[in-house]
Structure 1
Amino acid sequence: MSGWAEFITAFIAFLAAHMIPMRPRLKSRLVTMLGRAGYILAFSLLSLGLLYWLLLAAGRAPYVEIWPQAIWQRWLVNIAMPLALLLSVLAVGRRNPFSFLGRADGFDPDRPGIIGLTRHPLMWALAIWAGAHLLANGDLAHVLLFGVMLAFALSGVIGAEIRARRSLPDFHMLARRTSLWPGAALISGRWRPRGAPSVMRLMIALLLWLLILQLHQPLIGVSPLP
């Protein structure tokens, strides 16, 4: 299988896998079989594997240029990726009642941490990744790939926000020092960072960024450097 056929097949497989969380009966059966932690691990590995296949398939698809690549676009990706990684690392494992699987127990609305920057840090990190790569890859296959990923991330932000407003009876109390748009609560003065971020998390974000720089070309086939 090669060319557009592989790209379309990989895309369908990726989208089909991400229908699982939207089907409560199927998801509940999988959680019963694997346990909650096992389900999250299995779904994460499946998503990463299918995303990697999709990225490779996009690179092997026929090249149809929509816009040319400029050097500033490659610089944009190299500026955006550390920000997306840092946002992700600071958000993983944090109590977040506003996420799709979030619960309010254990969340301190007066000390929301990274959730004060935005209620949906992981979705915004995905949007930064997809948006930066969309601008830097102007061929048809990658425009479709990253365009869909950007739409998926932004719709996830909207969907999670709607769910939180509907399901959290004390939403406004919990959200008083947070914002939907990244940085809005900081600019308005409703949220101020308390203390420096965890050194361990900063080191993890730095190591991930360096690892991606080193492995991008051997794994994806393209150097990320300008």
Structure 2
Amino acid sequence: MRLMGDVGHLIVSVAAFLGAHSLSNWKPLRAPIEARYGKQGFYLGYSVVSTALLVWVIAAALNSPTVVVWEQQPWMRWVPPLVMPVACLFWVLGLAQPNPFSIGLGGAGYDPARPGIVRLTRHPIIWGLGLWSGAHILPNGHLAGLLLFTPLFLLCLMGARILDAKRRRSLGEAHWRAMADLAIFEPHALLTELGWKRILGGLALYPVLLWLHPMVIGLSPLP
């Protein structure tokens, strides 16, 4: 009973997190909130709720019993340390500039002639979250780990397509396509527009997460 109760708690928390994401697109709920507080107010509130629910999911996973699905191999522990620096770059670069295509600071101030990280992907924050969750699936081959990371990874895979469809509708197909066509991948232009300060900021986030990981999760992330 204790086993099922702890796993059930994790399942409920994951369902609540995914449910909140689905409800954020439900017009009868979203429209009145945006009418009263504006889009920025809605996104701020959603970010707070989403973060709180993610903390709940992680706490429930940490308190769940260990039910092994596959045994961890030594090489699997190398996957997160190798992938996470790239995820950190996507997070910082995605939050450091306006982006009308995806989650982040919004589109105000976005310069289509200098798309920055959008030259690489329209959804840098989602890519970062996908890399984070995907990299943690292999070394966490237990039930709690799979219930935590697999839904988040799948949500990231679907999220880019969902956001593209939403932005096409809200921006208009012609305007969306015109901006997307300008965001051509050119390595030199990409590095110039990102700037070394942003790149170094993304890389600097990684050692901070390494330092916090044992205190928050209780385990060293290093092999």
Q: What TM-score do the two structures reach when normalised by structure 2?
A: 0.83
- 2:176 pairs, out of 163, 171, 175, with 171
Q: How many residues align?
A: 218
Q: Post-superposition shift, 1:203?
A: 4.4
5+ residue gaps, structure 2, are none
Greater Cα offset, 146-155 or 194-203:
194-203
Aligned with residue 110 of structure 2, among 97, 107, 112 = 107
Give the SS at the match of 1:19.
Answer: helix
Quick one: which of 147, 150, 153 aligns to 2:153?
A: 150
Q: Is residue 168–residue 176 contact of structure 2 (8 Å, CA) maintained in 1? A: yes
Which structure is higher in helix share? 2
Task: Please show how residues 11-160 of structure 1 align to structure 2 within 5 Å.
Answer: 11-99=14-102, 106-160=109-163
1:182 match: none
Relative distance call for 1:97 and 1:168 in structure 2 (3 A) is farther
Q: Scaled by the length of structure 1, what TM-score is found?
A: 0.82
Counterpart amino acid of 2:7?
Answer: W
In 2, Cα distance between the equivalents of 1:165 and 1:196? 25
Distance in 2 (alpha carbons) for counterparts of 1:193 and 1:199: 11
Instruction: After superposing the two structures, state which structure 1 stretch, 91-100 or 108-117, moved more.
Output: 91-100
Residue 208 of structure 1 aligns to which amino acid in structure 2? L
Is 1:223 matched with 2:220? yes
TM-superposed deviation, 1:106: 4.1
SS at match of 2:11: helix
Give me the whole-angstrom Cα distance separating, in 2, the residues matched to 1:65 and 1:151.
21
**Alpha-carbon distance, 1:117 to partner:** 0.6
Single out whichever of 16-25 and 49-58 deviates more from structure 2: 16-25
Unaligned runs of 5+ in 1: 180-184
Shift of residue 194 of structure 1?
A: 5.0
8 Å CA contact 1:100–1:163 kept in 2: the answer is: no
AA aligned to 1:82 is P
Identity over aligned pairs, percent: 35
